[in-house]
Every structure is written in structure tokens, then in C-alpha cells.
Amino acid sequence: MNWNDLKVVLSVAKTGTLAGAARDLEKDPTTVGRRIAAIEGAFRARLFDRLNSGFVPTEAGHRVIALAEQVELDAQALQNEIEGADQRIDGTVRLSGLDAIFNHLIIPQLPGLLDRYPGLEITFSSHLDFADLSRRKADIALRSREPRHPDSVGRRLGTLVQAAYSTKGSQFGPGLNLIGLPREYEGSDYARILADSFPDGTIVARASTESHIHELVRAGVGIGILDCFVGDTDPTLKRVLPNPVWTQTAWTEVHLSMARAPRIRAVIDFLQDIFTENANLLAGKRSE
């Protein structure tokens, strides 16, 4: 039994199928199936029940999966500590966050950072949870709340304010067309604030990203809630209500083992500068 065997078990547990694990491991499904059979033979125990719905871990399988997850975390923690001791400002920094912040704030300023540190490579990804920080699927996560995990540290970047927007030419009748989130997010802050702000409105379209909500508003489909740094800078849009409807606080979150790495500190300083320079825009303070 070695780490490669444990990775196969983890992948099958995560995906639930040989085909999914094969894609994850870049192997052939038949090869993955043989590896699982060999691992079960080595343990002299069945690790997965083969059901029509997929591979389901047995009691023995759950014990092996727990061991594999701990080995993965320990190995990643060691790598993080070693890399954190490196004083050079180069290498890859993986940013996790929301597309609107990336597209409107960070990416336009990125050339300056890369000119200053030509050895850096920045990777952008969608919002991830803390486990992905510990496993280095992300190095810095942008959050709308203060980090509370004991193995992470954060820095407050600034205030983010949202308002309700429509196209400038919109004419509102008795009912208002609204842009909501997918139904599985009906308990979210966005859904609650939209309903409270427009109790007589009707949701006519739904989108899961701010970029898509922005495009729906631009197309005249209905009213949507956008960050003020998105809505106030779009000349085709207007605020439906004069005052913001939602205020959040932006934070960085970094795993403790990487917090002192120079490249991580350099990117966080870069993010802090962006938020400081755009504080009024982010807070919804418009110059009239």
C-alpha cells in the first residue's frame, strides 16, 4: 500500500464512479478498476459496494478514506511549510473568489504586479472552501466574511456595497421584472434582499454569477442586484433605488502555513492597494 493507491481510493470515493476517477487521475477506467480490486485484495476487505448508483464506501472503505485524507493533508502541510520558507517572490499564486472582483478590479491592474515581479504566475478560480486552501487548490481566497478557521489568517480589505440596477431606459409598470439566483439559493442574502426591496416583483430570469446577472440587467431583462463597482461604472445602467441595499466586508483568507511566504504577502499587498485606491467606488459613493 502506497500513496498512489490511496489517491485511487480517494478519487473513487470523491467521484463515485470508475469513469469519474479515471478522468481525475488521467487513467483508463479499466486500470482504475484493477487498482481498486488489487487494493481490496491487499486489505482483504471490500472497500466499495458496487451499486447501480455508483461506488459507495463500506465501513472498511470509510476507514481507509479517512486515513488517505489525513495523509494527503499532512503531505500538503509539509509542502506548504517548505514553500513558505522560500524568500523569493516568484512561482504560482492561486486566487479564489468571485468573477466580478476578478474582472472589474484585479485583472485590469494585474500587468503592474507582473511587471514588478516577473517570476509570478497568477491563477484565478471560482469560490472554494477552506479544504481547498489546505490542499493548495487555492493560496488566497477572497471572502465576504472574516475567516474563522483556526488554521487560517485573514486581512480586511475594505467594504463592498451592492445596489439594485436596471437599464437607463427602463419603464416600470405595475409589476417589476427581477433577476434572481437559482432556486437552490432561495435562502441566500441576495434572494432575501431582492424580495424585501421589491415585494411586488416577479423573477423572470435566474443566474448564478454576477457577470450573468450584469448581462441580464444590461439586456433589459429586469432588475438585479450588483456590486456598485460594477453597476455604477456601467453607463447603460441606473440605480433603481437611490441607496445601496446590501453591505459586505471583503477579506483575504490564507492557510497559516503559507501566510509568511513572500509571494503570498506580495499579492495580498497588491489586493490591499486595489481596495484602498477604489474605496469610494466600492462603498457606492458616487461623484455627482
- Using a 10 angstrom Cβ sphere, with 0-12 exposed, 13-18 middle and 19 or more buried, the burial of residue 158 is middle
Top pLDDT among 193 and 79 is at 193
Indicate the pTM of the whole model.
0.68
Statement: 3-83 belongs to CATH 1.10.10.60: no
pLDDT confidence of 80, banded at 50, 70, 90? low
> What pairs with residue 128 in β-bridges?
none
Contact 71, 101 (CB under 8 A): no
- Every domain of the chain and the residues it spans: 3-83, 91-157+254-274, 160-247
- pLDDT-based confidence at residue 198 (cuts at 50, 70, 90): very high
User: What sign has the CA pseudo-torsion 243, 246, 249, 251?
Assistant: negative
Residue 131: per-residue pLDDT: 47
Helical (H) or strand (E) element with 101: helix 99-101
3-83 and 91-157+254-274 agree in CATH topology: no
Angle at which helices 59-84 and 3-15 cross, to 10°: 110
Q: Distance between alpha carbon 38 and the CA centroid of its chain, in Å?
A: 37
Mean pLDDT of 89-95: 90
* pLDDT reading at 145 higher than 60: yes
CB atoms within 10 A of CB 138: 27
Angstrom distance (rounded) from CA 42 to CA 37: 9
Q: Is the pLDDT of residue 197 over 90?
A: yes
pLDDT in tens, 20-77: 999 888 899 999 999 999 999 988 999 999 998 899 999 999 999 988 888 877 777 7
Supply the Cα-derived Rg of the chain in whole angstroms.
Answer: 23
Q: Which three cell numbers stand for residue 192?
A: 432575501
- The phi, psi pair for 140, rounded to 5°, reads -130, 125
Q: pLDDT value at position 177?
A: 94
CATH of domain 160-247: 3.40.190.10
CATH of 91-157+254-274, one of 3.40.50.2300, 3.40.50.2000, 3.30.70.1230, 3.40.190.10: 3.40.190.10
